[in-house]
């Protein structure tokens, strides 16, 4: 069962500004990555449902994070249907993220006051998701839509809370463009976890990547305000 409710999760996402997005079939690798991110200052982590038995890995990861990473908010990504959403919530997911918007997922998530962050590629999709109780929506794919999409949407819909995933890099120019456009937070995957670093099991480097990215985001947000 989730330890954090909707308001708590979205608040932390907004404050830190970054959600690492990761999947690995080896549970020990996943544990080390989560721990490395946590030591780098990460407070919210998304483990994606992208491989066979991913839910089993997530279940072990949930138990591990609860013990070894106090205060870390762990959620599940790549959720596209309600049964999968329910399963991950039962395994301890504190939030759900998807590549698309499915109203059935919103229903089961709302029932437990669990944030559901659906992937949306148009203004209308975001509007429909908001009507279904999705307080935070994912702009996806970000590398296709770009910061101008966010800026354009926020003009007539300034209340919108948006997380962008896809095309986000731990670089000042990239992050500045997204936050200046008006995103609430960013989801960062492969650019935060280079394959060669994972293969080398260089967890300290992952920690450094996370710490650096969070510092850039903090600086960018401070300059904006």
pLDDT, tens only, 6-30 = 999 999 999 999 999 999 999 999 9
CATH number at residue 17: 3.20.20.70
Q: Is residue 224 part of a domain?
A: no
Measured between its terminal Cα atoms, the distance across the chain in Å is 36
Does residue 82 lie in a domain region?
A: yes
- Span 71-99, average pLDDT: 98
pLDDT for the residue 3? 87
Q: Is the pTM of this model over 0.85?
A: yes
Total structural domains in the chain? 1
Range of the domain at 64: 6-219
**Phi and psi torsions of 143, nearest 5°:** -70, -20
Per the model's pLDDT, the better-predicted residue between 90 and 2 turns out to be 90
Question: Look-up: residue for tokens 């590629």?
Answer: 121
The enclosing H or E element of 47 equals strand 44-48
The residue-averaged pLDDT of 173-188 equals 98
Give SS3 for 22.
Answer: strand
CA distances from 12 to 18, 70, 104, 159, 183 (A): 9, 14, 26, 18, 14
Does residue 162 lie in a domain region? yes
Instruction: State the alpha helices, DSSP H only, in the chain.
Output: 6-16, 27-39, 54-68, 82-90, 103-111, 123-131, 142-145, 147-154, 172-181, 195-200, 203-224
Instruction: With H, G, I as helix, E, B as strand and everything else as coil, classify residue 136.
Output: strand
Whether the predicted pLDDT of 225 surpasses 70 = no
Q: Is the residue at 225 inside a domain?
A: no
Q: Where are the alpha helices (DSSP H) in 69-171?
A: 82-90, 103-111, 123-131, 142-145, 147-154
Domain annotation covers residue 154: yes
pLDDT tens column, 196-206: 999 999 999 99
DSSP label of 101: -
Domain contains 1? no
Whether 147 maps to a domain, the answer reads: yes
**Residue 172, domain member (yes or no):** yes
Distance in angstroms (rounded) separating the CA atoms of residues 134 and 181: 20
């Amino acid at each position: 069962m989730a330890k954090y409710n909707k308001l708590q999760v979205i608040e932390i996402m907004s404050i830190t500004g970054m959600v690492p997005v990761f999947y690995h079939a080896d549970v020990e690798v996943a544990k080390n990555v989560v721990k490395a991110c946590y030591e780098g200052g990460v407070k919210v982590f998304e483990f994606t449902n992208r491989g066979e038995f991913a839910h089993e890995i997530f279940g072990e990861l949930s138990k591990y994070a609860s013990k070894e990473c106090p205060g870390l908010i762990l959620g599940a990504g790549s959720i596209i249907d309600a049964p999968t959403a329910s399963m991950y919530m039962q395994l301890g997911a504190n939030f759900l993220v998807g590549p698309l918007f499915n109203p059935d997922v919103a229903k089961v998530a709302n029932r437990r006051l669990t944030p559901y962050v659906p992937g949306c590629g148009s203004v209308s999709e975001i509007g429909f998701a908001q009507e279904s109780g999705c307080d935070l929506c994912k702009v996806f794919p970000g590398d296709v839509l770009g910061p101008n999409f966010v800026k354009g949407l926020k003009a007539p819909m300034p209340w919108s809370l948006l997380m962008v995933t896809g095309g986000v890099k731990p670089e000042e120019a990239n992050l500045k463009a997204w936050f200046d456009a008006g995103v609430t937070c960013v989801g960062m995957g492969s650019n935060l976890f280079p394959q060669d670093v994972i293969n080398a099991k260089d967890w300290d480097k992952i920690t450094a990547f996370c710490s650096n990215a969070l510092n850039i985001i903090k600086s960018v947000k401070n300059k904006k305000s």
